[in-house]
Amino acid sequence: MVSGLTIPSLVVLFVFFSHIGISVGDLLTEAAYARKMRENPSTGSSIVTLVQGFQQIGFLIALSFMGVLSDHGLFVIAYGIALACIVTPVIPVLSGWLPERRRQLWEDGLRRVCHRSFFLMDYSRIRSEWRILLLVACTGLAGPILGALTAWANEIVGLVAACITLVIISVCSYYCFPRVIANVALYQILTQVSRLSVGSALDYFFTADAQCLPNGPAFNYTFYVTWTGILGAAMSLLTVFIYQLLFNRWRYRTVLILTTVLSASGGLFDFIMTMRWNVKWGIPDHYFYILGDGIIHDMVDMLYW
């Protein structure tokens, strides 16, 4: 107990605010290089390739020690490193490295501050684009609300509420956004809905010991997080350059169809392992997992992304 808060509560708060910081930083940087792409359309996906390459390098560095720290119970050190990484983006923001126009609090005197720029908000922009802001806000709030509804009611109620929410958001997007953006949003919704995610549940399946799951894989965190993660990040980094070399000048529709088909087949390896067919075929869990989730799955996911 720390000042009325339990350790798990503090961890949850830390993760919550960490993701807020990550999302804000992600939006700022994406907006910055999206503007550069619009100003220099001849670059194609080169900027995205550069960004993804640096992300995979970051994953390689992080995965090199996270699994080992987890196996030794040194979670405080892991969270300390994460905190340092989260604080680091404040430096380029305060240094003005992001190419954006800065708002000066007292630029036009106290009257402007009190009426139009209070809290540095552009109220004229808010009034003209209130539909978009409302839809985006509702979409963001839908996640935790649906999660709470599923936890406090039951899975069926949560599933029905999620389906209704997706339909409402899809319809409203055509009312709030330009048609081309609404089409992209609908595509994203359909592809994500069609890819059932069981990754969180499989974490327990892969790492459960023999007492909890007899004849299971029983991976330790050094293998499951570090070695497999390093291999997956290296393959993803390689895939970034493969995409840049082979698919950079393809038509978007062709790339989307190819990567969607590949992504749909990416979950077969997990299914085979949960059915224990690889053991019947004489393939050890460690080798099959490295081949499937460590290499092919990560490469396909990166191509799709």
The share of the chain scoring above pLDDT 90, in percent, equals 0
The pTM for the full model equals 0.57
CB 210 within 8 A of CB 218: yes
Would you say 135 and 176 are in contact if contact means Cβ atoms under 8 Å apart?
yes
User: Given a cut of 70, is residue 59 above it in pLDDT?
Assistant: yes
* Tokens of residue 184, six digits: 């992209």
Are 209 and 218 in contact by the 8 Å Cβ rule? The answer is yes
Radius of gyration over every alpha carbon of the chain, rounded to an integer in angstroms? 23
Q: What is the mean predicted confidence (pLDDT) over 55-69?
A: 77
The total of other beta-carbon atoms located within 10 Å of residue 292's CB is 20
Query: Tokens for 240?
Result: 């970034």
- Residue 67 near residue 230 (C-beta atoms within 8 A): no
* Tens of pLDDT, residues 200-226: 678 888 888 878 888 888 888 778 777
CA distance 110 to 104: 12
Q: Is the pLDDT of residue 1 over 50?
A: no
